[in-house]
Amino acid sequence: MQASIAAGTQQTVQSYKTFPILVSLLLAGFIGMFSETALNVALSDLIQIFSISEATVQWLTTGYLLTLGILVPLSGLLLQWFTTRQLFLAALSFSIIGTLIAAMAGSFEVLMTARVFQAIGTSLLLPLMFNTILIIIPPEKRGAAMGVIGLVIMVAPAVGPTIAGLLIAKLTWHWIFWLSLPVLIIALICGIFFMQNVSTITKPRIDILSLLLSTVGFGGVVFAFSSAGEGEHGWSSAKVIISMIVGVIALILFVIRQLTMKQPMMNLKAFKHPMFVVGTLMVFICMMVILSSMLVLPMFLIRGLGMSALSAGLVLLPGGLLNGMMSPIMGSLFDKYGPRWLVIPGLAIMAAVLWFFSDITLASTVTLLVVLHSSLMIGIAMVWMPAQTNGLNQLPRELYPDGTAIMNTLQQVAGAIGTAVAVSVMTAGSKKFMEGVENASDPANLPLALTAGIQNAFVFAMIAALAGLVLALFIRRVRTTTEAPTKS
């Protein structure tokens, strides 16, 4: 019987036109990641162009994360209500509309609206991408497939700052979106012709209370963490405290309701699989490290060392490209050797590099920064895809939508936590430095104070990596359904 099931599964997998489906998904995913990181380089220019504050312009990122935090948890339900083609075409339509609006935006409000549309498209696309891969790729080949996804997704944020810096220097920030628009249209056309329906439509009952609790819970927590890095009050702000309390209470009620429902909106039984839990926590830690590091490092290059946006992008380019190129290699090694011998050394490398980063000064050379950043990206490549693939491999097929929804949701929460804590730690470190100098009004102390704060932010990232290293000791390879069962 097991042989018949395995043969039937293999036959189903081979019936899909895997390559064009992957091309459609990866084109859309590439532009989604490119637009997000490329815009970050333009934030300083947008402050001057729109005559807005740093706290206001930060909403272009905060609003994006908030939209993802609200909608991604619903993706598990959407994957069971709508076909793969319907969700893909909807995701691309929202992304194209948002990109077109952003390309023509003449005010902050219009650009903010465009970012929300883009986030809606991304919130539909990311879970759909991973769920589709789990269905059309057999377990023994998923590492390589996830590695290809990692190549595309990590190259996009790597080249984003560099291309954006060049566009800003030669044209205007609008061209970040004009450049993205034709690629999204090509991805849409590919999807129209080649995208197949791979998921099973079960149309479970929609629980309005679960939707409400999910929206308030995840939205409140992401909003609180994102807002903590803004303004003078930070974590003591009433807005942050109230949002966090409301969000946490709503999440507790959401979890209780999901565990007591016969057909939950998000099936939390995925957490009964230990390697899924470990993989999810690994991705969570990697997301915190990436976003916190990629926030403070460009700030150090531009405001500390006085580099231009283009020069800072060029410094970050080798590490990002190396991370992308390493992802398929790590995927193939995972298929052959499993996660343990990749994840543990990867986290050790991450922790060591972040320790070196915590000691950078204004005298640090560009070569050193390129080597450290490249080493950090190699470590992340060794951890992210192997841990994620291993965790998802342990889930039965009926939990794929919920597993991808959980993992992608917690990524957004990790991003909000990583950036908020990094900004808070950096601000506190800078403030403490200025309190210890004799002449706080001396402009020469500003880059020194910034550097002191950034050193502390890297210490936070190092602590997160060390926590991941301890957790990695418990990771083990998951036996997939195509492997022969072991004898007891």
Q: For 266-295, what is each residue's pLDDT tens digit?
A: 778 888 888 999 999 998 998 888 878 877
Helix orientation angle between 59-71 and 400-436, rounded to the nearest 10 degrees = 150
What is the per-residue pLDDT for 2?
A: 38
What is the per-residue pLDDT for 332?
A: 81
pLDDT bracket for residue 11 (50, 70, 90): very low
Hey, what are 465's tokens? Answer: 């990596």
Q: Is residue 185 domain-shared with residue 250, that is, in the same domain?
A: no
Residue 11 forms part of a structural domain:
no
What is the per-residue pLDDT for 222?
A: 77
HSE-up of 3 (CA within 13 Å, CB side)?
Answer: 0
Residue 199 forms part of a structural domain:
no
Mean pLDDT of the chain: 79
452 vs 2, more confident: 452
pLDDT at 459 over 70: yes
Q: Is residue 253 domain-shared with residue 184, that is, in the same domain?
A: no
Residue 480 forms part of a structural domain:
no
Q: For 298-341, what is each residue's pLDDT tens digit?
A: 878 887 888 877 787 788 888 878 877 887 788 788 888 888 88
pLDDT at 31 over 50: yes
Q: Is residue 452 domain-shared with residue 339, that is, in the same domain?
A: yes
Most confident of 20-34, 130-144, 207-221, 343-357: 343-357
pLDDT at 186 over 50: yes
Query: How would you class 372 by CB atoms within 10 Å of its CB: exposed for 0-12, middle for 13-18, buried for 19 or more?
Result: buried
What is the per-residue pLDDT for 371?
A: 93
Q: Is residue 287 domain-shared with residue 419, that is, in the same domain?
A: yes
What is the per-residue pLDDT for 406?
A: 82
pLDDT bracket for residue 1 (50, 70, 90): very low
Per-residue pLDDT, averaged over 10-16, amounts to 48
Residue 7 forms part of a structural domain:
no
Give the span between the Cα atoms of 444 and 252, in whole angstroms.
48
Q: Is residue 184 domain-shared with residue 228, that is, in the same domain?
A: no
Q: Residue 334 is part of a domain; what is its CATH number?
A: 1.20.1250.20
Q: Is residue 259 domain-shared with residue 283, that is, in the same domain?
A: no
Q: For 369-383, what is each residue's pLDDT tens digit?
A: 999 999 998 998 899
Counted domains in the chain: 2
Residue 3 forms part of a structural domain:
no
Q: Is residue 179 domain-shared with residue 190, that is, in the same domain?
A: yes
Q: Is residue 186 domain-shared with residue 218, that is, in the same domain?
A: no
Q: Choose among 435, 422, 434: nearest CA to 291.
A: 422
What is the per-residue pLDDT for 12?
A: 43
Q: Is residue 214 domain-shared with residue 304, that is, in the same domain?
A: no
Terminus-to-terminus CA distance in the chain, angstroms? 19
pLDDT at 9 over 60: no
44 vs 220, more confident: 220
Domain that holds residue 244: 205-264
Q: Is residue 388 domain-shared with residue 426, that is, in the same domain?
A: yes
Q: For 239-257, what is each residue's pLDDT tens digit?
A: 888 988 998 999 899 888 8
Residue 111 forms part of a structural domain:
yes
54 vs 444, more confident: 444
pLDDT at 123 over 90: no
Q: Is residue 53 domain-shared with residue 114, that is, in the same domain?
A: yes
Q: Is residue 329 domain-shared with residue 228, that is, in the same domain?
A: no
Give the span between the Cα atoms of 293 and 287, in whole angstroms.
10
Residue 484 forms part of a structural domain:
no
Residue 352 forms part of a structural domain:
yes
103 vs 157, more confident: 103
